[in-house]
Structure 1
Amino acid sequence: MAVICVGQSVYDIVIPYDTALVENQKYRVTRRLECGGGPALNAAYLCAVWGEQTYLVSRIGEDDYGKKIKRILLEAGVHLEYLVERDNIETPYSIILSNSDNGSRTIFNFPGEVQDKHYEYPALDVDVILSDGHLPKLSIQAIRRYPAALSVLDAGTCRESTMEVAPHVDYIVCSEDFARQYTGKAVDLEKPELCREIFGQIKEINKRHAVITLGEKGLLYEADGELKHLPAYPAKAVDTSGAGDIFHGAFAFGLAKNLPLLSILKLSSMASSISVESLGGQTSIPALDLVEDKLKERER
């Protein structure tokens, strides 16, 4: 059985800072962190290091960043048979400015060039397909190739490629930003009727299951036909880079383990909460044992 993650691989360069940035100034950088990034890559890395057989369908160049990404994935045990390396494209990369005071980050992404490619997916027993919406045709192809697999969409922003995949998946796990962009309304936990309206519109996209993540405010989900709110686990945020990717990776892992939805959401929330207390995306992915231990502590 396997998890397949389809989408973007990025090389991240994270630069922490603790003073207000002012235009037309020069800043001396004495510290930086380089690591893997991108929603599909981070999700695949998490699933692999947590013990699932994981395949990544993505693209990189045959440049230095691409070679570094490949080494990172191989060390984690991610299967790379469907990672496309091209010598005529630049590996996507991001410069991330991370505010050490509050953990917020500003991302400058260089997406590289997208090239269409036909994939022949392997004869596997696939449990879960995770798509980040960056490669919509390949995501839909995978969903059709493995009809018995559960599929989840990491819907970070409401762009055309994300909406192309959304009707085909079993679970839309979207950000607060996506919900606002799609519905034109902002989630307000003090207004239950508004929350139900927004959630209903998101769920209508695929007519199956939806989750709306709200960062430090927790998340919204549905159980027994009722809208529920799960608060976030407390954390001292140092860098929120990759927190959403880690949530989605843990969500896919939970689906592969046939966990109940609430257990999946708690696992994903705790993994994301722990991750923001460290610098970087892929480098802040916590060990499964740590996440489970923290959950047990909270349940006491």
Structure 2
Amino acid sequence: MVAKNLVCAIILLLLVSLGQAEAALNAHYYDQTCPQAEKIILDAVRNASMHDPKVPARILRMFFHDCFIRGCDASVLLDSTPQNKAEKDGPPNISVRSFYVIDDAKAELEKACPHTVSCADIIAIAARDVVTMSGGPYWNVLKGRKDGRVSKASETRSLPAPTFNVTQLIQSFAQRGLGVQDLVALSARLRNFSSLLDIDPSMDLDFAEKLRSKCPKPNKDRNAGQFLDSTSSAFDNNYYKQLTVGKGVFGSDQSLFGDFRTKWIVESFAIDQGLFFKEFVNSMVKLGNVSIIENGEVRLKCGVVN
């Protein structure tokens, strides 16, 4: 009887904790406190994208780089101080741009509903918006994240590198509770590439040279660059089609088609865009739930703690 009661108690605790985890983020979190939040964010993203076509890729990359380090806590937005070098100044994040879009949205949100919408939620909503604006799927973003108070450039070393092989990529994603399918789905996020172009042995050589010719010169235009595929203004499954013909940009991209653990997923996404969209949404939601903090704050300005 004691053992049975103990088992029941454990099950009850698990159910309670699971309910709390599900309740931590909610698609309707701001319905009462800031019902216009998503429109304000969409307007900021749309206005910026009209003037700079690279904004969608940059916002999506920002979301990934934020969530992958300390969870989605907007730590990537914090500015460095004399006492601390922040994430945005870590080597992998030097090319992350368009922080002003989040700042613009935050400024308008502070006017409409002060001290209510977190910077972390702004990034998550903006990431969804740039995907949808580019022809990709729409999903209800779960909200209620808090902003973190810690940001360290040294921790950007945990971001997956363009030189990673599939095993390293799988291990890196697994540390965040993400699986192989998440890895392949999220690898298609729109992004720019820089002059540090890693050539995979299986990459089409003519294509590789064409990419090199388009890369900015080192230490020159940090805003220069090209998109990953020929339909870069649209969010589609062309990334996977390119991989199947040896035209992945980074070694880590092309390796996805050369490894039995990921090749079948690449082929599936290349054939069925609807399947890719479905799995991409699932993976974005999972990534958005990584390491949600409960003791954070809602920053008044996204670049500094309160």
Q: Provide the TM-score with structure 2 as the length reference.
A: 0.28
Structure holding more helix per residue: 2
Which structure has the larger Rg?
2
Greater relative contact order: 1 or 2 (C-alpha under 8 angstroms, separation 6 or more)? 2
TM-score of the two chains, using structure 1 as the length reference: 0.28
The structure with the largest strand share of the pair is: 1
